[in-house]
Structure 1
């Protein structure tokens, strides 16, 4: 994911384009019927195999995608380790019932978790305590079970325990049947406090469903008590795991049958400074010992200023690998190449500790050097794949996964550019290949899809025999339709392409007014026919960003939206799902009527064979306000069945969007139709993306 400044700068790429998008009722460029003739699918002349990784997922912790989203911990800043140690916490009624409260580091739980909350009450009071607001509230379900845990230590006085209460936090967005603010939703109690740190556990069962609850912790008695690692976690997690993930969000991912999962970002990898970069080693091991870090998106956008946005790393690299395994996707970790975001500090780690490097005027003058970053990459590969007898393989096994994660690819840098990137990439890649010659490396072509820096990087990476080049593009919907042939003339040998980040922008790049409209989604569907037709060149593709919280987003558009209880897929999600669940195994060349280019008269087509299922799959986009009859000639098809299936995503309104209230307003519909020969006729709905699955073999 690119920064706002980078994205606004990238608008120059598309500034010369004329806006062609239309709303229903206006005259569209696409009106009219297709050129007469037959579309020939060359079943008897198969092309390249479709890579198993062709369609995948890109995860970045933007828009509260991790904490407050996929990672369902309900307590914000549970360990008081953020820069502002009380973010998310508030003393009840301004601490009127407390004599003092302070975040202390005196005799902490551990060296890494070295801050805790100390409360002292002179007299017993039911309001001697603190509230935690959660992530724009806490979503809890009636009858659900939520595990409350806390590390506590008793000080002077007669504090006998802690009262733990879930209560309604205001009523905004809670619906007309919501209980009043402050209403009790569930309670429990912690007793048996001692003078030493000890972990206590209890279960709360809410009596009412509430999207905006809060947690209240009060002292029983008077005196002093210390609190740390305060957690409220649903028992209902993916695969019912302790420290597991949010079930509805994981299910949406699994339903896509993705080929890969790229993580943890994005600009998250780079950080605004090298000190704020993502360091994977800090995200594994005991969850209570993981030190949080400011999220680099917290103050990036004036329209969504979120200084309370931190990464707790409860969702860390072990959990990313585990998630990849759960949803059947290859893991694709992206690591820092020794460069902070070039549109923020642009800090560079020196190539060595021996002195400054001439092309590196902004380089930091102290550790870490590039070797630090290289060693992190080598250690990560050992963590993922190494035997349990190895240092990092043993750490993986200690977390409950002795079997390797079968890591095959690793990314060097996010979307850096210029000579500073290339001079770091070369020794980085050499070190990985020397120790792990079979590891495939994903390299960066920068944030823009063209221009001198893009061309220079692509050329040099080709010389270096890079295996994958990561290309990104954010642009207006018409750019995607106009560039459907982008990869038609790419070299058929050399690096493969990873379309690592792309999404049509309905208003402008980085605009807060962008929508996940049907116009954007159908334009992406059209563009993806070009990816599929060039499967010998393009072997990975992923929409970005993946997730967004409806009350805590920084960036639009996004593929999946959610609040604290519900979620939905956008039209863009369904386009991606229709491609990934109908990826097939072999590309089939398509000849348009009159040898026209793909996209002529706004008809876009690609085809694959699914040799496992015994189907010929044809994908067709009709970017037109009129229904469009098409005739397909499945040249050389064998053993045809009699009944085919059409999966159709369509709307007469190009501005149609899904929402929490109408999650399926625009969703695929399936129908069956009869086929009797290798010539198949079908009428495409106006403004539609259609997948035809026709039984037949090549």
Structure 2
């Protein structure tokens, strides 16, 4: 059913007058004002400073081809097909002119390289990028390569070509060094036109032999202008949310299809050319969305994740494999007596993040350019794992970590959903063990979110805390791609989030998932932020999440109607907090009904109220409304000034709207 949850008689009337879904155009139903009483003086729960965060996973080309700004696909020839992403154009075929050489015994992390031998004719090596290469007019692009040149004489012409093959950037590079030692050399080119689907090519001229590896191209405008860094517009979208934490690196990629395919953080730090590439498990996950060119280069590795969290003022929340592969794929597990390396990885990660520079892993962090600790506070053990096999392995991790680092809070999985035997087994066992955090995930229809806005009202108040680590409203499965991120889904999420906020003493952290998706390369939808090779936009879900995160407050206060929490009465959902830092009252109200609702807000407390405030309003009369590159804020916040009379405020809430009301106190 749709968002307004009314009785059967009213639903029949609504069907007779329906205009959108189960909404109806006759708005006389809700003209009688309701009185919401807000008790401004009494804090009923503290809001954690990191309550609203983001969940990052390398899915939908979120890292390689996304936030990691590398433009060359398969830069080190390590895909299962070594020349995937590359093509060779020449006038005349010469056998053995170009070879992919494997030196696994010498360099297991990066075994392959390209060998180019004495040419008699020019030939061209072309890279297609990640669904093309996004190029901006006037921007500098920085090329680099690892090479060795046993026989000199090769000259390389570096080109960016538009989709129509027009050259839009060009320079010439002559390798400087000769001999059998690997060297690095760089060059830059500046684009003369903008093209979202360009390609990069190298024309080889002259005679000689050269070996090439780590062929790389980055735009100059990375986040904080860091060489080989992150895509600035995507990071800015996160920074604007002011998330309390970043959960990384996933997700299912933590588990892997089997244990060999699992995420191993130690393989993701250090020199880029020494990071061992891995097939992304989303490469093979969905037959209807094949992604044979989806790999993890780990240019965005654990050091960069920690750095990103620090950059935008978020806590880092890494998730580690617990000795279990994805139970939907292979269900492979490490034997209990062979779990020590997995546990040691967790202990070493904490030392990497927090250790003194005289420790082994603290020294490694310092060598990477960050002598100051990252101040890691929490760690996830396993992702969406379940069953007694998970509990056995979790107990081993917990004992070892708490013995050495008792201050680290541990995130424990409650399985794949918020109910059923699988959930009940884990939830019961974890609460008996006094787990720090129980990680609940739910991908459900809109009506489930509405019905569960009071889910945590009856949870035990003094036991394990809840981390809602993954959630999103999933529309009809017939709707695909970015079309799933409609206003109905975001509004239902907003309604449930008022229940999370009201119970902030229990639900201490929450994050929507997944975060990013490339419009030409997605595997999973819905997603909070959609990108192409040049642009980015936030969905209605993004703006709901942003409004909660930037208006989190410090203390939950009571907001009631007829002495009851506001959980769906006439389609209304509400929560309220005060912010001791800014000295304000912040009220959030979702109107999920297709009718205007009139609210009298009565502020009950000793604190004096200023006469002026404002509302940030999200609304649209069409529940199917989407944002897009062409209309990035079709559903976006609009600010409305308000005036109060004493401690009363009359509100007129538009149909299908989410409203954040900020009212300053007098100091």
TM-score, normalization: structure 2?
0.94
Provide the residue aligned with 1:140 in structure 2: 135
The farther-off stretch of 281-290 and 106-115 is: 106-115
Q: Note the alpha carbon deviations across 1:196-245, whole angstroms, 9 max, x for none.
A: 32211101111111111111112121343211111101121111112221
User: Is the deviation greater in 72-81 or in 219-228?
Assistant: 219-228
Alignment of 1:611-690 (within 5 A): 611-690=580-659
Matched, 1:50 2:54: no
Using a 3 Å threshold, how does the CA distance of structure 1 residues 195 and 490 change in structure 2: closer, same or farther?
A: same
Q: Which residue of 2 aligns with 1:333?
A: 318
SS at match of 1:124: coil
Query: CA 1:34/1:637 → structure 2, altered by over 3 Å: closer, same or farther?
Result: farther
Task: Give 1:121 shift.
Answer: 4.7
Counterparts of residues 414-425 of structure 1 (less than 5 Å): 414-425=383-394
Runs of 4 or more, structure 1, over 6 Å off, are 20-23
Whether 2:178 is the aligned partner of 1:194: answer: yes
Q: Do the aligned residues in 2 keep the contact of 1:50 with 1:584 (CA within 8 Å)?
A: yes
**Bigger shift: residues 137-146 or 313-322:** 137-146
1:55·1:258 contact (CA, 8 Å) conserved in 2?
A: yes
- Deviation, 1:130, is 1.2
Corresponding residue of 2:549: 580
CA–CA distance in 2 between the matches of 1:242 and 1:220?
Answer: 29
Q: Is the 8 A contact 2:482 2:527 kept in 1?
A: no
- CA deviation profile, 1:124-170 (whole Å, cap 9, x unmatched): 32xx13111111111111111111001122244x63321111112x3
CA–CA distance in 2 between the matches of 1:27 and 1:104? 63
1:176 corresponding residue in structure 2: none
Give the match for residue 166 of structure 1.
160
**Unmatched segments (≥5 aa) in structure 2:** 1-7
User: How much does 1:100 deviate?
Assistant: 2.5
Q: Distance in 2 between matches of 1:208 and 1:331?
A: 39
How far apart are 1:545 and its partner, in Å? 0.3
Q: Within 1, Cα distance between the matches of 2:555 and 2:137?
A: 48
Match of 2:301 among 316, 331, 356: 316
SS of residue paired to 1:275: helix
- In 1: Cα distance, 2:242 partner to 2:354 partner: 23
Aligned mate of 1:299, from 284, 295, 302: 284
Aligned position for 1:439: 408
1:515 equivalent in structure 2:
484
Deviation at 1:544, TM superposition (A): 0.3
Tell me what 1:234 maps to: 219
CA contact (8 A) 1:338 1:373 kept: yes
Secondary structure (helix, strand or coil) at the match of 2:82 reads coil
Q: CA, structure 1 residues 695+378, in 2 after alignment: closer, same or farther (shift >3 Å)?
A: same
* Structure-2 separation of matches of 1:107 and 1:524: 49
Q: CA deviation at 1:195?
A: 2.4
Question: Alpha carbons of 1:107 and 1:487: their partners in 2 closer, same or farther (altered >3 Å)?
Answer: closer
SS across alignment from 1:373: helix
Q: Distance in 2 between matches of 1:469 and 1:82?
A: 37
* 509-518 vs 673-682, which moves further: 509-518
Residue matched to 2:84: 87
CA RMSD across the alignment: 2.1
Q: C-alpha displacement at 1:477, in angstroms?
A: 1.0
**For 2:552 and 2:55, how far apart are their aligned partners in 1?**
18
Q: Secondary structure at the match of 1:590?
A: strand
How many angstroms does 1:676 deviate by? Answer: 2.1
Shift of 1:106: 5.1
Distance 2:360 2:573 in 1: 52
How many residues align structurally?
A: 651
Distance 2:636 2:430 in 1: 40
1:663, 1:670 → 2: CA distance? 17
> Which residue in 1 is equivalent to 2:5?
none
Q: Pick which of 191-200 and 380-389 moved more.
A: 191-200
| Cα shift readout 1:241-295 (whole Å, capped 9, x = no counterpart) | 1222111011100100110000000001000000000000000000111111000
Q: TM-score, normalised by structure 1?
A: 0.90
Q: Secondary structure at the match of 1:38?
A: strand
Q: Is the CA contact (8 Å cut-off) linking 1:108 and 1:116 kept in structure 2?
A: no
C-alpha separation between the residues in 2 aligned to 1:52 and 1:424?
A: 31
Shift of 1:187: 3.0
2:30 paired residue number = 33
Match of 1:203, SS state, is strand
Q: Which residue of 1 aligns with 2:231?
A: 246
What is residue 5 of structure 1 aligned with on the other side?
none
Q: Displacement of 1:94 after TM fit? A: 8.8
CA 1:659 to 1:513, structure 2 compared with 1: closer, same or farther past 3 Å? closer
2:525 is matched with 556
Contact 1:294/1:309, CA 8 A, preserved across alignment: yes
1:696 Cα offset (Å)? 1.9
Gaps of 5+ in 1: 1-17, 171-179, 353-368
Where does residue 13 of structure 1 map in the other structure?
none
- For the residues of structure 2 that align with 1:153 and 1:622, how far apart are their CA atoms? 65
Q: Separation in 1 of the partners of 2:565 and 2:179?
A: 80
Contact map agreement 2:168 2:193 (CA 8 A) in 1: no
Q: Evaluate the alpha carbon distance shift between residue 35 and residue 260 of structure 1 in structure 2; reply closer, same or farther with a 3 A threshold.
A: farther
Distance 1:107 1:67 in 2: 24
Structure 1 CA distance, aligned partners of 2:119 and 2:623?
64
Q: Is the 8 A contact 2:154 2:208 kept in 1?
A: no
Name whichever of 290-299 and 189-198 sits farther off.
189-198
2:500 alignment counterpart: 531
SS at match of 1:297: helix
Question: Does residue 153 of structure 1 match 2:153?
Answer: no
Secondary structure at the counterpart of residue 427 of structure 2 = helix
Change (3 A) 1:35 1:295: farther
Residue matched to 2:169: 185
Q: State which of 116, 121, 124 in structure 1 corresponds to 2:121.
A: 124
Label 1:590 to 1:37 Cα distance change in 2 as closer, same or farther (>3 A): same
Question: How far, CA to CA, are the matches of 1:34 and 1:672 in structure 2?
Answer: 22
The residue that corresponds to 1:371 in the other structure is 340
Structure 2 vs 1, CA of residues 67 and 595 (structure 1 numbering), >3 Å: closer, same or farther?
A: same
What SS class does the counterpart of residue 194 from structure 1 fall into?
coil
Partners of 1:468 and 1:496 within 8 A in 2:
yes
Task: Work out whether 1:203 is the aligned partner of 2:188.
Answer: yes
In 2, Cα distance between equivalents of 1:257 and 1:619: 18
Which position in structure 2 is the counterpart of 1:359? none
Structure 2 CA distance for partners of 1:408 and 1:596, relative to 1, 3 Å: closer
Q: CA deviation at 1:303?
A: 2.2
Say if 1:308 and 1:645 are closer, same or farther in 2 by CA, change over 3 A.
Answer: same
Matched, 1:260 2:257: no
